[in-house]
């Protein structure tokens, strides 16, 4: 009951901050001052005799662009990133104690295990029992796609997934290991950046997270398919899919910390351009004459206009970890004699990136040659909604 009252208070405080920021943002010189610095709106209150601090990190800068394309905020009250402090101030490492283990990429088990997001440590005082109390906020305005309030149904524990349409790209953000999910949100609801989603915790399934490593696992990225249940059913898994299209296997993240840093520096003039400009590790020629759902949801990822006569095939550019970052539609006249219907082949490969991959079954070196592995084939099946053979 106390936690619900606290959640309600934080939501009211967030709305006040949001209104104040709008007020300042529309006032001539004050607006310029406001946009020139990384905003941190602070409210200090007394509740049940304890001093609580709500710090809403508002990265409303983009000083060189002269306008705000979208609002992005830090998903916890911790101001460390906004203040330019090092990662040790806000990243929660694994039991190894290695700081990078809490960041994105091939950062675990000597580079052989991939971590899809970043782990953010608690900032506010713990409870008497040593549990985290930090509220978790929506990083961007978007739609609530999924709420999972039963910890035992996913390795994410209790988690929330939002979708966001920015510059013709549908992104997802994911907030995992929550102690509780806010009762003020529901699937299908639109929420503003900064909306309370839940409370940081250590919920999980299949393993346990100790109190001293409670954290928010945060992801941002793209969703592969629109009918994940069909793909999941073909795999003959032993447990049901409780999460619809928001199952983690249907999601592919990119580096959240790099994303926040690029935003802070005003380097994201366009979200689609930001994603398409990520380093290309390999390009697949996919001889399937249909438009996948991810392209319909994210036309900003198109590398060229859809041909009026219809699509005959695709060149899909991927990052080394399997993010499909650009889709170039092809006409029948663009294809060669080796391009048979249904055939999947490598069109181009960055051998340095692919050769360094030791933890993702995307494209890897096999007997000195690049080869397509299972993660890439699964992503294609999810995107195109059909069984595919390499």
Q: pLDDT for 153-185, tens place per residue?
A: 999 999 999 999 999 999 999 999 999 999 999
Please say whether the dihedral angle defined by the alpha carbons of residues 323, 327, 328 and 333, taken in this order, is positive or negative.
positive
- Band of residue 303 on the pLDDT scale cut at 50, 70, 90: very high
How would residue 389 be classed by pLDDT, with cut points 50, 70 and 90? confident
Give CA–CA dist 132/110, Å, rounded: 29
In the predicted structure, residue 58 carries a pLDDT above the cut 50: no
Q: Which of 39, 93, 102 is nearest to 255 (CA)?
A: 102
What are the structure tokens assigned to 231, written together?
């793909």
Whether the pLDDT of residue 214 is over 90: the answer is yes
Q: Is the pLDDT of residue 206 over 50?
A: yes
Distance of CA 69 to the CA centre of its chain: 18
Q: H-type helices in the chain, by residue range?
A: 2-25, 28-36, 228-234, 256-264, 271-276, 293-297, 351-356, 374-384
Q: Fill in the DSSP letter of residue 91.
A: B
Decide: residue 328, CB within 10 A, 0-12 exposed, 13-18 middle, 19+ buried. Answer: middle
All residues at 6 or more sequence positions from 94 whose CB lies less than 8 Å from its CB, including other chains? 101, 102, 108, 119, 213
Q: Please compute the mean of the pLDDT values over residues 299-323 and round it to a whole number.
A: 97
The answer to whether 148 and 242 have CB atoms below 8 angstroms apart is yes
Q: At what angle do helices 28-36 and 2-25 cross, to 10 degrees?
A: 120
Q: 35: burial class by Cβ within 10 Å (0-12, 13-18, 19+)?
A: buried
**19 or 198: which carries more pLDDT confidence?**
198
| CB neighbour list of residue 309: distance below 8 Å, 6 or more residues apart | 331, 332
Mean pLDDT of 190-202: 97
Contact 277, 298 (CB under 8 A): no
Confidence band (pLDDT; 50, 70, 90) for 57? very low
Which pLDDT belongs to residue 177?
98
Return the domain boundaries, the chain. Answer: 69-264, 278-384
The 10 Å Cβ neighbour count of residue 147 is: 20
Give the pLDDT confidence score for residue 388 in this predicted structure.
Answer: 85
Higher-confidence residue: 39 or 201? 201
Q: What is the pLDDT of residue 84?
A: 95
Confidence label for 69 from pLDDT (cuts 50, 70 and 90): low
Of 45-54, 109-118, 216-225, 300-309, the range with the lowest mean pLDDT is: 45-54
CB-based contacts of 337, cutoff 8 Å, min separation 6: none
Q: Distance between CA atoms of 377 and 290, rounded to whole angstroms?
A: 17
Q: What average pLDDT does this structure show over 359-366?
A: 95
User: Residue 8 pLDDT more than 80?
Assistant: no
CA distance 211 to 203: 10
Q: What is the pLDDT of residue 12?
A: 54
Residue-by-residue DSSP string for 232-279: HHHTT-SS---SGGGSGGGEEEE-HHHHHHHHHTT--S-HHHHHHTSP
pLDDT score of 56 more than 70? no
CA 362 to chain centre: 19
Q: Select 69-264's CATH number: 1.10.3720.10, 2.70.70.10, 3.40.190.10, 3.50.50.100.
A: 2.70.70.10
What is the per-residue pLDDT for 24? 31
Tell me the per-residue pLDDT of 329-356, one tens digit each, with 9 for 90 and over.
999 999 999 999 999 999 999 999 999 9
Give the pTM: 0.85
Cβ(328)–Cβ(351) below 8 Å: no
Task: Count how many Cα atoms sit within 13 Å of the Cα of residue 145 in the half-sphere of its side chain.
Answer: 24
Distance, in Å, from the CA atom of 343 to the CA atom of 288, rounded to the nearest integer, reads 8
State residue 390's pLDDT score: 65
Asked which of 58-67, 175-184, 358-367 is least confident by mean pLDDT, the reply is 58-67
Question: For residue 379, is pLDDT > 60?
Answer: yes
pLDDT-above-70 percentage for the chain: 82
Strand order in the sheet with 324-330: 324-330, 313-318, 282-286, 344-349
Residue 5 has pLDDT above 90, yes or no: no
| 319 neighbors 278 (Cβ within 8 angstroms) | yes
Average pLDDT of the segment spanning 39-45: 33
Separation CA 6–CA 128 (nearest Å): 16
Which pLDDT tens digit goes with each residue over 91-129? Answer: 999 999 999 999 999 999 999 999 999 999 999 999 999
Angle (CA) 67 71 74, round 5° = 135
């Amino acid at each position: 009951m106390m936690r619900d009252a606290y959640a309600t208070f934080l939501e009211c405080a967030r709305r006040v901050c949001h209104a104040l920021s709008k007020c300042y943002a529309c006032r001539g010189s004050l607006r310029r001052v406001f946009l020139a610095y990384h905003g941190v709106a602070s409210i200090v209150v007394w509740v049940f005799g304890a001093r609580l601090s709500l710090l809403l990190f508002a990265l409303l800068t983009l000083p060189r662009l002269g306008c705000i394309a979208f609002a992005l905020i830090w998903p916890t009250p911790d101001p460390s990133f906004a203040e330019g402090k090092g990662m040790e101030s806000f990243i929660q490492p694994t039991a190894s104690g290695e700081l990078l283990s809490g960041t994105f990429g091939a950062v675990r088990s000597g580079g052989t295990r991939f971590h899809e997001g970043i782990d953010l440590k608690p900032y506010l005082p713990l409870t008497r029992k040593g549990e985290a109390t930090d509220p978790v906020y929506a990083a961007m305005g978007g739609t609530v796609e999924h709420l999972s309030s039963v910890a035992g149904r996913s390795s994410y524990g209790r988690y929330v997934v939002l979708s966001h349409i920015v510059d013709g790209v549908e992104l997802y953000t994911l907030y995992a290991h929550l102690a509780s999910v806010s009762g003020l949100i529901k699937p299908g609801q639109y929420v503003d950046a900064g909306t309370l989603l839940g409370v940081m915790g250590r919920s999980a399934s299949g393993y346990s997270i100790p109190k001293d490593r409670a954290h928010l696992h945060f992801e941002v990225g793209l969703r592969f398919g629109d009918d994940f249940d069909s793909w999941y059913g073909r795999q003959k898994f032993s447990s049901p899919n409780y999460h619809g299209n928001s199952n983690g296997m249907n999601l592919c993240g990119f580096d959240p910390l790099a994303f926040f840093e690029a935003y802070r520096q005003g380097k994201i003039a366009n979200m689609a351009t930001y994603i398409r400009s990520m380093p290309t590790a390999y390009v697949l020629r996919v001889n399937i004459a249909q438009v996948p759902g991810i392209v319909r949801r994210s036309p900003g990822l198109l590398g060229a206009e859809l041909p009026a006569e219809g699509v005959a095939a695709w060149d899909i550019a991927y990052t080394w970890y399997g993010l499909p970052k650009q889709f170039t539609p092809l006409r029948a006249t663009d294809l060669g004699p080796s391009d048979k219907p249904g055939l999947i082949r490598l069109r181009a490969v960055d051998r340095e990136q692919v050769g360094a991959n030791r933890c993702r079954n995307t494209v890897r070196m096999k007997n000195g040659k690049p080869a397509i592995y299972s993660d890439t084939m699964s992503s294609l099946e999810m995107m195109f909604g059909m069984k595919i053979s390499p």
